[in-house]
Amino acid sequence: MLSFLTSTDLTWDVVLFRMCFGVLAGALIGIERERSSNPAGLRTHILIASASTALMLLSIYLPAHSLSDGDSGRIAAQVVSGIGFLGAGAIMRFGTNVQGLTTAASIWSVAALGLVIGGGMYFGGLLLLTVMLFTLYVLDKLEKRSFRQYALKVLRLWLDSGDVRIRDIIHALKEFKVLVKSIDFSQELENDATQLKFYLKMPNDVDLEKMVARLSEMEHVKKIKMDQNY
């Protein structure tokens, strides 16, 4: 009854099973990506998985039905190299913040998953699917619980003409576990003010209200502004 699982011939039931398997695998990964609000979601991963499955089936079919001796791995190799361009489109850079690397990796991996399924390696496909779901879902939660999440921010401080106590400002930021990466210094001649630009590595759970209040209490601080990223 389940002879198509071990069949090496591309009969209709073999093709149907592999295609359905590919669609299901892509959907499971896509649902997880949708849950994380990533740019490549359910439809993207289904299309990639099903198309790579079909291309792998084609690479098996052509040598078996052609008089010429073809390399069945050439199409698969083109899929592996070509999917890199699609994955690169999921990577976005905001200043020095880079987002989308995990989604790009999932795009590349789901293409590999489709090739494995299309090649009839069902156990390998299940194993890869399990590893991907575990990495994207379970390890994501574990990582967020075990490691403090940081974001890169820009803090701008305007000070009057009094003495600039940068060391005191850095000490105040350290009270909130904020790390100073670098500092820019500029003098505004029109209003006789000094502007300090702090490039920060800031925990996502920092209490911004308390931090701003702490800085506002400091001598010579006239204005505070926080940029989203850099």
Residues 15 and 117 in one domain: yes
Residues 40 and 140 in one domain: yes
Q: Which residue, 125, 146, 167, sits at the end of a domain?
A: 146
Residues 142 and 154 in one domain: no
pLDDT tens-digit readout, 198-211: 888 888 778 888 88
CATH of residue 183: 3.30.70.260
CA distance 118 to 76: 10
Residues 81 and 113 in one domain: yes
Q: Which residue, 146, 174, 189, sits at the end of a domain?
A: 146
Q: Which residue, 131, 146, 161, sits at the end of a domain?
A: 146
Cβ atoms 97, 150 nearer than 8 A = no
Residues 73 and 140 in one domain: yes
What DSSP element (H or E) covers 31?
helix 12-35
Residues 140 and 173 in one domain: no
Residues 167 and 92 in one domain: no
Residues 185 and 165 in one domain: yes
pLDDT tens-digit readout, 52-104: 999 998 888 877 766 556 566 777 888 878 887 777 766 665 555 556 778 88
Residues 126 and 165 in one domain: no
Reported residue count of the chain is: 230
Residues 161 and 132 in one domain: no
Task: Indicate whether this model's pTM tops 0.75.
Answer: no
Q: Which range of residues forms the domain containing residue 184?
A: 150-227
CA distance 119 to 153: 47
More reliable by pLDDT, 26 or 196? 26
Total number of domains constituting the chain: 2
Residues 29 and 142 in one domain: yes
